Structure 1
Amino acid sequence: MERIEVITSVQRRRRYTGQEKAQFVAMTMQPGSSVSSVARQYGITPSLLFKWKKLMQDGGVTAVEANDQVVSVSDYNSLLKKVKQLEQMLGRKTVEAEILKDALEIAQTKKYISHMPLLPPDDTQHNK
C-alpha cells in the first residue's frame, strides 16, 4: 500500500519530531531498504535523511565511547551562552573587588593619618 501525503498549508518546512526522525532512519537500515526509497516513500529529501542517519550514528558512537549522554546542539549552544554570561559577570565582579580593595587601602591610610597626634605649629614651639 502506497501512502500519499497532501500538504494543504503554506508552511515552508515540515517539522519532524525526534521519534519520527529515528523511525525514518531505522527504516533505512532494514534489509532491502535504502535511504532513497524511504525518502521517496515519505516525501523527505534523501540528503536530509542521510544527515539524520549520520547524526544518529555519530551521536551514538560518541555516547558509547564517552560512556555519557549525547546533548543536542541547541542545548550545547545554550550552555555555551550561559558560560559566556557567567564569565562576563565574574570579570565584572573581579574588577569591583579590585576597586573596593584599593578604596579600602586608601581609606585605611587616611584613617591612620587622621589619628596621628597633631603637632603644634612651628612658631608655638619657639615661644616656650
Structure 2
Amino acid sequence: MSHIEVITFNQRRRRYTAEQKAQFVALSMQAGSSVSAVAREYGIAPGLLFKWKKLMQEGGIVAVQTNDQVVSASEYQALLKKVKQLEQMLGRKTVEAEILKDALEIATAKKFISPIILSPPDSTRSDK
C-alpha cells in the first residue's frame, strides 16, 4: 500500500546534528541496508545522505592518516581569522611600545622627565 503526502505550507530546512548525521550514515552502512532505503525511511534526500557518507569517510581517512583530530573547514577558517586579528593587535601594540620608547628617550634627553622618576622605588633597588 502506498501513501500520498500533501504539503500545504512552506517547509523550512531541517537541521541535523552531527550525531544524527553519523547515525544515518551508520544505518546506511549496515549489512542489507542502502543509502536510498535509509534516506527514504527518514525523509532525507539520498544525495544529501551520500554527501554525509563521503564526508565522514574522507574525514575518517584524514584523521587516521594524520593520527590527529579533524576539525571542520568553518572552524579552521574561524581560527585563521582569529589568528589574523591577534597578529594585527600585536603589531599595533608593538608600534605603540616603540613610539613610547622613542618618546621616553627624547623626554629624558631634553630633561622633561627626571631620571629619578624613571628609577624603580627604593624597595626594588638592588644597591641597598
TM-score (norm 2): 0.70
Matches within 5 A, 1:48-67: 48-67=48-67
**Is there any run of 5+ residues in structure 1 with no aligned partner, and where?**
113-128
Deviation at 1:68, TM superposition (A): 1.2
Structure-2 change in CA distance of 1:102 and 1:13 (3 Å): same
Q: Deviations over 1:83-108 (max 9, x none)?
A: 12211110110110121122122223
- Alignment identity in percent? 78
For these two proteins, the number of residue pairs brought into alignment is: 110
CA separation of 1:31 and 1:52: change in aligned 2, threshold 3 A: same
SS state at 1:81 partner = helix
Shift of 1:57: 0.9
Tell me what 1:119 maps to.
Answer: none
Alpha-carbon distance, 1:8 to partner: 9.2
Q: Which residue of 1 aligns with 2:109?
A: 109
Secondary structure at the counterpart of residue 111 of structure 2: helix
Equivalents in 1 of 2:61, 2:71: separation in Å?
A: 13
Instruction: Describe the SS at the equivalent of 1:71.
Output: coil
Structure 2: any 5+ residue segments left out of the alignment?
113-128
Deviation per residue, 1:35-71 (Å, 9 max, x gap): 2222122211122111111111111111111111122
Following the alignment from structure 1 to structure 2, what is the Cα–Cα distance between the partners of residues 30 and 7? 32
Give runs of aligned pairs for residues 1-128 of structure 1, distance below 5 A.
11-111=11-111
CA separation of 1:46/1:107 partners in 2, compared to 1, >3 Å: closer, same or farther? same
CA distance in 1, matches of 2:78, 2:6: 36
Runs of 4+ in 1 over 6 A off after TM superposition: 5-9
Q: Distance between the aligned counterparts of 1:16 and 1:8, measured in 2? A: 23
Query: Residue 11 and residue 88 in structure 1: after superposition, are their counterparts in 2 closer, same or farther (change >3 A)?
Result: farther
Give 1 or 2 for the bigger CA radius of gyration. 1
